[in-house]
Structure 1
Amino acid sequence: MTTDNAVLDFLLSRRSRPAKMLATPVPDRSQMTQLLAAAARVPDHGKLEPWRFIVLTAAANAKLAQSVAKRGADLGLQPDACEKAAACFADSPLIVAVVASPKPSEKIPQIEQTLSAGAVCLSLVNAALASGWGACWLTGWAATDKEILASLGLAPQEWIAGFIHIGTSAATPPERPRPDIDSLTEWRE
């Protein structure tokens, strides 16, 4: 058995960067295409590709922020909650919306397709981090709101598995406590 210590070291030390700590520059189209290709190499039983990508530039994020602020107000959310949700988009230089797009299948259950979309989100974050970019995976109420989803052109059965924020990390966040593997693991023999 061969071990790729560099990859294992990366996985054991990886750390998402908070969206508010990301700035320009961002990956260009060629770099993003490579990151998306890496993200798409996930388990996908039946080769259904139950996900797709919407790359949102700063200009698109500004428009989305306005939609989120208006929709939050229409829903009766507290003004500070609307402002916080909108700022998450307005302040981001680049976001990839990973769209969960389940396909009809007699063999592949929807939960498996959902897990594949989640795997794409994590793979995209890891690909960005491994390439030297800062990245994080966020959702929030806008990821499932029907009007916001429609404004992004999603079909009725689609939803956002994750808004992946990517940019240059302005700072390294402090380490956070990690799970106690022994308390989470049961061994059976």
Structure 2
Amino acid sequence: MDAIELLLTRQSTPRLTSPAPNERELKIILDAAIRVPDHGALAPWEFIIATGKGLDTLADIYVYAAKASGGDEDFIHKAKGMPMRAPMVITVVAKTQQHPKVPVLEQQIAAGCATMAMQQAAFALGLGAVWRTGDFAFDANVNAALGLAPEDQIVGFLYVGTPAVAAPIKLQKDGSQYARYL
């Protein structure tokens, strides 16, 4: 698949199954992440990878956070199953720092770009991925359980695996409808 085809056909793959990326594929995915624009070479990101028992740990963290926020039994049950929607979940964290030329927002955007690059790399490898956020991306209990500092921001949970079904390619839209000239 060439780069333009990848950019024009990339899509989220919400129904994922095993296998997860193998070691070589995961290295490619992570290497793609750190090639994104990074003003000041700050590397303002961390990738927390959960597979196997790590998914159980992530589920326990979600359940703890759901209970701590007063979630009802349905939400707590849903929280326990969330990490099991894929054989790998990569939590992408913006690890920002004060810098005279690189604002915090720019660093968070760089971490977001890293997430997109990982999703595209997975897609190019024939894998599937979906970028999710939700309440747990903004939950202080989740941050603490993952060992993050209060100023760290989860920018997404990238669910990665093998597509469970062949998803049809979405119709290509005309990007110029969202553009204007000055």
Superposed pair shares fold, TM > 0.5: yes
Alignment of 1:25-40 (within 5 A): 25-40=19-34
**SS where residue 88 of structure 1 aligns?**
helix
1:108 aligns with 2:102: yes
Query: Which residue is 2:78 aligned to?
Result: 84
C-alpha distance in 1, partners of 2:96/2:43? 8
Choose from 4, 9, 33 the match for 2:5.
Answer: 9
**SS where residue 21 of structure 2 aligns?**
coil
- The answer to whether the 8 A contact 1:17-1:172 is kept is no
**5+ unaligned residues in a row in structure 2: which ranges?**
none
Report sequence identity in percent.
35
- The answer to whether the 8 A contact 1:45-1:108 is kept is yes
**5+ unaligned residues in a row in structure 1: which ranges?**
none
**SS where residue 155 of structure 2 aligns?**
strand
Query: Which residue is 1:134 aligned to?
Result: 128
C-alpha distance in 1, partners of 2:21/2:44? 25
Query: Which residue is 1:75 aligned to?
Result: 69
Q: Aligned residue pairs: how many?
A: 182
C-alpha distance in 2, partners of 1:98/1:43? 16
Q: CA deviation at 1:170?
A: 0.9
Query: Which residue is 1:98 aligned to?
Result: 92
- The answer to whether the 8 A contact 2:85-2:159 is kept is no
C-alpha distance in 2, partners of 1:150/1:178? 41
C-alpha distance in 1, partners of 2:33/2:163? 20
Give the TM-score normalised by the residue count of structure 2: 0.91
1:149 aligns with 2:140: no
Q: CA deviation at 1:32?
A: 0.8
Give the TM-score normalised by the residue count of structure 1: 0.87
1:172 aligns with 2:166: yes
**SS where residue 154 of structure 2 aligns?**
strand
Residues 52-108 of structure 1 show CA distances to partners (whole Å, capped at 9, x for unaligned) of 111111211112212212321231223333333331213331111111100221111
- The answer to whether the 8 A contact 1:99-1:161 is kept is yes
- The answer to whether the 8 A contact 2:36-2:117 is kept is yes
Residues 114-159 of structure 1 show CA distances to partners (whole Å, capped at 9, x for unaligned) of 1101100100000110011111111111112111111111122112
Choose from 125, 136, 150 the match for 2:119.
Answer: 125
**Distance of aligned partners of 1:33 and 1:6 in 2 relative to their CA distance in 1, 3 Å threshold:** closer
C-alpha distance in 2, partners of 1:90/1:149? 20
Aligned CA RMSD, in angstroms, stands at 1.9
C-alpha distance in 1, partners of 2:168/2:70? 35
C-alpha distance in 2, partners of 1:180/1:79? 44
C-alpha distance in 1, partners of 2:25/2:167? 24
2:12 partner letter: S
